[in-house]
Each structure stands twice: as C-alpha cells, then as structure tokens.
C-alpha cells in the first residue's frame, strides 16, 4: 500500500470521490462485509474475482481494515471506539454504525440497486452494526439481502443469544435474510482438514452472493433481470437458496437434487414458498436441452406443492462449466407477515436455557426424567452427561422403551439391576440399564435388589456416614473368627523369588 493510499484510507471524502468518479460504469450490486466474519467473507469473494459487483468492508477495528485488499473501506465509529473494536459489545457495534451513517449512505449511493450484507452473528460489530447498515440501505429504497452465519453451539450461550437477537433485528431491517449454520457445516464437512473446513462458511457465502448476482448480471436465452429478483426477494423476510452443478446423462436431476440439499436451506423443505427463481447455467459446448429444463421445473414444482404465485426461470451461458450443468434456486415468501424462524442452533439445549437441577423430592418428577425430557447434563461438575456413566458401557440409545434394546430408567423408577456407586451425585444420575440381563436373575436376587431400591427411594438425602459402619456391626452380627496360624507354621517368600519355580 502506497503512503498516499494509507493517508486516504480513512478519509471518507476521498472514498466518496472515488465512488462518484466510477459511477458511470459501476455495478448496481454492492457487497458489504461487516465485522470480522463479514470482512473475511468479502475478502474471500474479492480474491475469487466475482464479476459485476462492488465490494465494501466495514469494521470498528482499524488494524483489520488495513490488512484487507478491498479498496473501499469504512472505519465504523472512529470516535467511539478509537479503532480498537467492540469487544463483543453489540451496543458499541450499533452506535459505531450510527456514527458512520453518512459514510454508509455515500457508499450506497449512485447506481446501487441491490445490497448484500454479510456478517458473522454473535460478535459485537457484526451483530450490532449489520442491522443498522441494512436499515440504512432499505430506507434508501435498495433491495437488501443479508447473508449471515450463526455461531457454533460450542461457542457459548452469550454468543448464541446475541446471534439470535441480531438475526431477528436484521430480519426486521432487511428484505430477506439467509442464515448459514456453522453447526450444519461442521456436520457436513467433519472429515475435512481444519484449514479447509473453516473456509467452507466463506465459500457458502460466496456461492450465495455469486449465484444471485449472476442471475441479474448474466444474460441468457431466457433472461432474468433485476426486477424479477426484486419481485421474489422484496419484503420476503425469510428465504432460502441452493446451488449445485453436475455432469453426465442425469446431470439435470442430480444438480437440482443437490441444490435442494444445500447447507443454505438448513434442512428446510421449500414447500409453501410463494416466489421461486430457478437459473440453469450451461456452456455453449453442452447446452441444456428441453428435457433437462422439464426435469428441473417439474422437480421444483412437485417440492413446492403448487403453493407458489411466481416461478421465474432463467438460463445462463457459462463456458467455464464445460460438460456440467449448474442449477441455482431461490425460494422465498414462507412467512409473509410472520415471524422469522430462528434456527435451532443446538438439538440438545437452546441458547440461554438454564441447566436443569435434580429434583429434591417433587412428586412425579425424577432426576432421570428431567434428563430424558430436556436432554441436558444434570451434573456437569461430575463430568457426566445423560449419555455417559462410569459404571456401564458408554453407548447411545433412543430415549424410548424398546423390546430388544437397552432402556433409560431413572433411579426413582427403578425396576432393574443396577450397581449403585457410593457418591450421591453418581447415585442420583440416570443410568443406562440393559433389561435383557434380567432374564438370568433368580427370585431372591430380584427381591434383594427391589428392597435396596425401596430403601433408596425413601432416603433421598441419606447420611452417607452410616455406610462407613460395616453392615455386620449395624445388624449386631458376630463374624466367624479364623484361628490364628502359629508363627512357626508361617513361611514368607516373594513372588519374584527365582528359587520357587512353578
């Protein structure tokens, strides 16, 4: 970077002049990265040379902006944060964006018709500033599409809660929101090396932006323009998209099937969508035929179940595809006037949900039943989860009664063989019991274990010190005394003594 470029890096007048100077042939689409995650995604797109879009990067961290190759940069809240970031504080991110409102409006001016806002939700800048920037863009009459990532569930409840609140606010300020779940990517790409796995989120965001933008900017035999995209996405609130390419005799069917299995759909069925855009891209060497078009449109119509009011088909020529066919589908209008469906970040525990505590005596609810109902760890300090016990083989089971497989049984509902550990936390923890083992029990053993179970039921808070007294003393029994062996009859030797052979 030259000294002149460095000096003008945060001179907003300089940035604005450069934008105005290029307005004549400037693209109508802008992609704005907000915060660290959004900035990384936009840097990735910039290096991949997506055509016919302008890139802007915004951040409260001055150092991060300096390291970005993006020519147009906005330091958010320079006065408020001093270029040092927000430290996960969402209110700082929001205030920083409001402080830089004039610069944001200047960047979004000119020929801009559509804005992609990309951010990683859960942090301070992305979560706080992205909804503000989306609101500014929408107030300017721009088609505003937000494409964001949700954090991994292991990143903690604070970040998950912030992400959920940020997504909801972003939805209120955008025409439509696409959410990429990091947990979903982790599931799909679990065998990839870490260096490649963490790039998948950026690659998904790139495909989302590239696929939608090429619908607008690339002409074909059947053309789809900006107004078509606007009709589908304007005010859609929530939308999903998928893209895939395939080759071979069944390339059309394979491509549309994979497109509808995209991570951007988050396992959502597209049935009920009001607006659909499908784009088919092929090379001039291997152009799509009518049969392939029919396969794709029929497949989508069947999945939508005839509820759509708009279905727009477009074709694109892309000679880089060779013999492959690429399908992109955008579906929207699932929740017209409704509430955004916040993604389920964790199948076991919702963000912000309190840990369940073991019941100390409430009728009808045992510690084991709480575990079975909530799927939570009852004793995290003991290092146990509901699917793990130190006294039985660690396996995963369905939480339901089965005739052949093991069943989860709460201690309070005891009717099975179980080895009771001494520690109270272990005792009150739900154990996995193999019901099939019961077949070998005799009546006396079953009665003894049932009596032991009854005792534990009636003594929820036992005095564990009592168990330090041996049972024969508690029951006033006299043990048989083995006669002493005279010292003269005792022989002492070591196991390692070589003189004593086998």
**201-228 per-position pLDDT tens digit:** 788 888 888 888 887 877 666 666 788 8
pLDDT at residue number 262: 72
pLDDT at residue number 233: 87
**Range from 276-285, 332-341, 352-361, 450-459 that averages highest in pLDDT:** 276-285
Q: Is the pLDDT of residue 385 over 60?
A: no
DSSP state of 365: -
pLDDT at residue number 272: 79
**What length is written for the chain?**
502
Is the C-alpha dihedral spanning 60, 63, 64, 67 positive or negative?
positive
Report the chain's mean pLDDT, rounded to a whole number: 73
Judged on CB neighbours under 10 Å (0-12, 13-18, 19+), 347 is exposed
Q: Is the pLDDT of residue 160 over 80?
A: yes
- Residue 48's nearest CA partner among 264, 209, 271, 275 is 209
Q: Is the pLDDT of residue 415 over 50?
A: no
pLDDT at residue number 338: 40
Under a CB-based contact definition with an 8 Å cutoff, are residues 151 and 159 in contact?
A: yes
pTM above 0.75, yes or no: no
Whole-Å CA distances, 116 to 112, 175, 335, 494: 11, 11, 21, 80
Average pLDDT over residues 42-60: 91
Q: How far apart are CA 337 and CA 352, in angstroms?
A: 27
- Residue 429's nearest CA partner among 378, 390, 392, 370 is 378
Average pLDDT over residues 476-501: 64
Is the C-alpha dihedral spanning 288, 291, 292, 294 positive or negative?
positive
Q: How far apart are CA 293 and CA 313, in angstroms?
A: 9
Question: 90-106: per-residue pLDDT in tens?
Answer: 999 999 999 999 999 99
pLDDT at residue number 462: 57
Which range among 73-77, 97-101, 428-432 shows the weakest confidence by mean pLDDT?
428-432
pLDDT-above-90 percentage for the chain: 30
pLDDT at residue number 58: 95
For residue 228, what is the enclosing H or E element? helix 226-233
**Range from 4-13, 22-31, 128-137, 337-346 that averages highest in pLDDT:** 128-137
Average pLDDT over residues 455-468: 58
237-339: same fold as 3-217? Answer: no
Question: 286-322: per-residue pLDDT in tens?
Answer: 999 999 999 999 999 888 877 677 888 888 888 889 9
54-59 and 73-75 strand pairing: parallel
pLDDT band at residue 85, thresholds of 50, 70 and 90?
A: confident
**Residues near 381 by Cβ (< 8 Å), separated by ≥ 6?**
425
Q: How far apart are CA 42 and CA 473, in angstroms?
A: 76
**Range from 81-95, 180-194, 246-260, 376-390 that averages highest in pLDDT:** 246-260
pLDDT band at residue 65, thresholds of 50, 70 and 90?
A: very high
Higher pLDDT, 136 or 181: 136
Q: Is the pLDDT of residue 442 over 60?
A: yes
pLDDT at residue number 185: 79
Q: Is the pLDDT of residue 237 over 50?
A: yes
Class of domain 3-217: alpha beta
pLDDT at residue number 325: 95
- Can you name the CATH fold of 237-339? 60s Ribosomal Protein L30; Chain: A; (3.30.1330)
Give the side-chain half-sphere CA count within 13 A for 222: 16
pLDDT band at residue 455, thresholds of 50, 70 and 90?
A: low
Helices (H), 29-175: 35-47, 62-67, 78-81, 90-99, 101-107, 125-139, 157-173
> What is the residue extent of each domain of the chain?
3-217, 237-339, 367-474
Average pLDDT over residues 108-128: 93
Tokens of 25: 């042939």
């Amino acid at each position: 970077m030259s000294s002149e470029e460095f000096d003008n890096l945060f001179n907003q007048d300089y940035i604005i002049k450069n934008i105005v100077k290029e307005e004549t042939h400037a693209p109508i689409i802008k992609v704005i990265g907000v915060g660290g995650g959004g900035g990384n995604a936009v840097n990735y797109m910039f290096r991949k040379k997506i055509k016919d879009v302008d890139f802007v990067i915004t951040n409260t961290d001055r150092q991060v902006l300096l390291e970005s190759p993006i020519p147009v940069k906005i330091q958010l809240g320079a006065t408020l944060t001093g270029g040092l970031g927000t430290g996960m504080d969402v209110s700082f991110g929001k205030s920083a964006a409001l402080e830089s409102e004039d610069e944001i409006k200047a960047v979004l001016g000119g020929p801009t018709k559509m804005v992609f806002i990309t951010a990683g939700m859960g942090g301070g800048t992305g979560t706080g500033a992205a909804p503000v920037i989306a609101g500014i863009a929408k107030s300017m009459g721009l088609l505003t599409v937000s494409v964001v990532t949700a954090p991994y569930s292991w990143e903690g409840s604070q970040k998950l809660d912030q992400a959920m609140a940020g997504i909801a606010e972003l939805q209120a300020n955008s025409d439509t929101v696409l959410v990429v779940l990091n947990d979903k990517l982790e599931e799909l790409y679990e065998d990839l090396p870490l260096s490649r796995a963490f790039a998948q989120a950026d690659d998904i965001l790139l495909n989302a932006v590239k696929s939608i933008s090429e619908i607008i900017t690339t002409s074909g035999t059947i053309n789809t323009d900006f107004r078509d995209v606007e009709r589908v996405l304007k005010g859609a609130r929530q939308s999903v998209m998928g893209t895939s390419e395939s080759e071979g005799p069944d390339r059309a069917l394979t491509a549309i099937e994979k497109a509808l299995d995209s991570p951007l759909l988050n396992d959502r069925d597209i049935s009920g969508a009001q607006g659909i855009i499908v784009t088919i891209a092929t090379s001039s060497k291997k152009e799509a035929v009518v049969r392939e078009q029919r396969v794709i449109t029929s497949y989508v119509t069947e999945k939508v179940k005839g509820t759509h009011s708009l279905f727009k088909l477009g074709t694109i020529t892309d000679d880089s595809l060779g013999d492959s066919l690429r399908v992109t589908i955008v579906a929207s209008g699932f929740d017209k006037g409704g509430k955004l469906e916040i993604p389920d970040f964790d199948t076991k525990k919702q963000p912000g949900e309190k840990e369940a505590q073991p019941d100390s005596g409430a009728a009808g609810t045992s510690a084991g039943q709480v575990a079975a109902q909530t799927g939570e760890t009852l004793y995290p300090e003991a290092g146990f989860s509901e699917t793990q016990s130190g006294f039985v083989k660690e396996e995963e089971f369905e939480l339901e009664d089965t005739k052949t497989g093991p069943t989860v049984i709460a201690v309070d509902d005891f009717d099975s063989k179980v080895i009771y550990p001494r520690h109270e936390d272990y005792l009150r923890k739900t154990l996995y019991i193999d019901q099939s083992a019961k077949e070998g029990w005799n009546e006396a053993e079953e009665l003894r274990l049932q009596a032991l179970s009854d005792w534990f039921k009636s003594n929820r808070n036992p005095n564990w010190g009592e168990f330090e007294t041996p049972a024969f003393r508690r029951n006033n029994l006299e043990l048989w005394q083995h006669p002493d062996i005279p010292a003269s009859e005792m022989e002492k030797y070591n196991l390692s003594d070589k003189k004593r052979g086998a």
